[in-house]
Amino acid sequence: MRTLIDDLSASSEETAALIARLQVRSSTLHNAISLSADVAPLLLADFVVRYIEHVPDFIEAIHTITRDANINQQVDPLLKVAVDYFLRPPELVRGSSTLQVLLAEAYLAHRLLEEINDRFISLCGSPLVPMDTTRANIVAHELIGEPFAIELDQAVLFSADILLTEHHFTGAAFDHFFAHHRAHGWSVELSRWPCLAADRSIFVNFSGPD
């Protein structure tokens, strides 16, 4: 994944094409995304690259955290789906290897991890990991545009339903894992994996007019 991402992120042609697309797209973004017009394309292009690059970092962090807690055998199938979004993307995002395609694949992975995290909070009273990509995903959704972004969301919900039906997240190790983090928080993990609390550096004004 990192090799694929690095190769495309380093391409000046891909970057120039992305900035040109965002130059047009930035003038029609939802007004909740507040950026100065003169710097919006560059800031959004930087956001897209970092949003893509964070996927393998998140997957590595989750794998290590759950491996150390002896629950990775049950969690790894979730992570495999996120990896497959890049290495074996679903039909709806297949095409030329561009940053735009990588953005869609990254959105699938980020949204799946967000959805799984939300469901763990509902089921266990604690997230699987202390990551919150809600705002970043909103920006990515807007950059991808509808109706395609909605199709990607539906694919994520379908995958999450299947994964949580096929795999049962129960047992003494899981009980201990969630009880520990409900009581002690996540400071150790956040210090070890700063990517989990990474700032996307894009101001999203949720209080602005619709």
Task: Write the pLDDT tens digit of every residue in 127-173.
Answer: 888 887 888 888 899 888 889 999 999 999 999 999 888 887 888 99
Q: CA–CA separation, 9 vs 47, rounded Å?
A: 12
Give the pLDDT of residue 126: 85
Q: How many CB atoms neighbour CB 114 within 10 A?
A: 19
Nearest to residue 8, comparing CAs of 105, 86, 102, 104? Answer: 102
Q: 206 in helix, strand or coil?
A: coil
- Length of the chain equals 210
Residues 178-192 pLDDT 10s: 999 999 999 998 888
Q: CA–CA separation, 113 vs 46, rounded Å?
A: 22
The tokens for 150 are 């909605």
Judged by average pLDDT, the poorest of 89-98, 112-121, 146-155, 157-166 is 89-98
104: enclosing H helix or E strand: helix 99-124
Q: CA–CA separation, 203 vs 131, rounded Å?
A: 18
Residues 3-32 pLDDT 10s: 877 776 666 777 777 777 777 777 777 766
Q: CA–CA separation, 110 vs 137, rounded Å?
A: 7
Task: Give the pTM.
Answer: 0.85
Average pLDDT over residues 81-93: 87
Average pLDDT over residues 197-204: 45
Judged by average pLDDT, the poorest of 86-90, 97-101, 136-140, 157-161 is 97-101
Give the pLDDT of residue 16: 77
